[in-house]
C-alpha cells in the first residue's frame, strides 16, 4: 500500500507547497494565483479515495496537512515590511485558518465521497464531496484569517485592510473586503470542481488498470 500512496502524497505535497507560494501573488483584484492550484488537492484526495479507499485518502490528507503546517511555520519566520513596521508573512490567524480549513474540508470530502461512491453515476461522489469540501474550506479559512470576529485571536495583527467595507466584488452591496475575496475564491473552486471531473475520470481509469 505504501508504494501506491507515494504518488498521492507527493502530488498533495506539491499542491500544498505551490499554493502556499502562489497565494502571495495577486490575480486581478479578488484572487491570488493560489486559488487556481489549491483545488487540485480535492482532485488528489478523490482519486486516492476512488482507487485505494478512504483510509488511503486520509493518509494522503494527513501528509498534506503536515506539509501545510511546515509551510506555515516557515512563513511565520519570514518578515515583511509595510506601514512603518515589520510583520510576519504568515500570521497566527492565517496559519490557524489554513490548517483547520484544510483538515475539515479534506476529511469531509473523504467521508462524503465514501458515502456516495456506490450511488448514482461516477461523477456524483467527486463532485458532491468537492463542492461541500470547497465550501467548508472557504468559510473556515476566510472567517478565521480575516473576519472581525476572529480579531481576539491575534490583537497585534488585525487585518484592517480585509475588514474595510466596500461594494461586493466592486459592484454589489457593501460588505467587508474579505467577503468579496472569499466569494471569488469559492466561485473559482466550484468552477474547477467541474473541470476536474475530466482528469479524475482519466486518472482513475489508468490507476485502476495498474492496480488490477
Question: Residue 43 sits in a domain of what CATH number?
Answer: 1.10.1760.20
86, 134 in Cβ contact below 8 A?
Answer: no
Residues 111-150 pLDDT 10s: 999 999 988 899 999 999 999 999 999 999 999 999 999 9
Range of the domain at 143: 2-211
Task: Dump pLDDT digits (tens) for 52-89.
Answer: 999 999 999 999 999 999 988 887 777 666 555 566 77
pTM over 0.85: yes
pLDDT of residue 128: 97
Overall domain count for the chain? 1
Q: How confident is the model at residue 172 (pLDDT cuts 50, 70, 90)?
A: confident
Cα separations in angstroms, 207 against 64, 118, 137, 210? 21, 18, 28, 5
Amino acid at each position: 500500500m505504501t508504494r501506491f500512496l507515494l504518488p498521492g502524497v507527493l502530488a498533495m505535497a506539491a499542491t500544498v507547497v505551490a499554493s502556499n507560494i502562489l497565494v502571495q501573488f495577486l490575480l486581478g483584484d479578488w484572487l491570488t494565483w493560489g486559488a487556481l492550484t489549491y483545488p487540485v488537492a480535492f482532485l488528489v484526495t478523490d482519486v486516492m479515495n476512488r482507487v485505494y479507499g478512504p483510509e488511503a485518502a486520509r493518509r494522503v490528507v494527513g501528509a498534506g496537512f503536515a506539509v501545510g503546517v511546515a509551510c506555515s511555520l516557515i512563513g511565520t519566520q519570514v518578515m515583511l515590511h509595510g506601514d512603518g513596521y515589520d510583520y510576519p508573512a504568515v500570521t497566527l490567524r492565517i496559519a490557524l485558518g489554513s490548517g483547520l480549513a484544510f483538515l475539515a474540508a479534506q476529511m469531509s470530502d473523504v467521508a462524503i465521497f465514501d458515502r456516495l461512491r456506490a450511488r448514482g453515476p461516477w461523477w456524483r461522489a467527486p463532485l458532491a464531496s468537492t463542492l461541500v469540501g470547497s465550501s467548508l474550506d472557504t468559510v473556515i479559512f476566510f472567517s478565521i484569517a480575516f473576519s472581525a470576529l476572529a480579531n481576539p485571536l491575534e490583537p497585534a495583527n488585525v487585518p484592517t485592510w480585509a475588514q474595510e467595507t466596500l461594494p461586493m466584488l466592486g459592484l454589489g452591496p457593501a460588505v467587508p473586503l474579505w467577503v468579496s475575496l472569499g466569494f471569488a475564491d469559492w466561485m473559482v473552486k466550484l468552477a474547477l470542481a467541474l473541470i476536474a471531473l475530466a482528469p479524475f475520470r482519466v486518472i482513475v481509469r489508468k490507476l485502476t488498470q495498474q492496480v488490477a
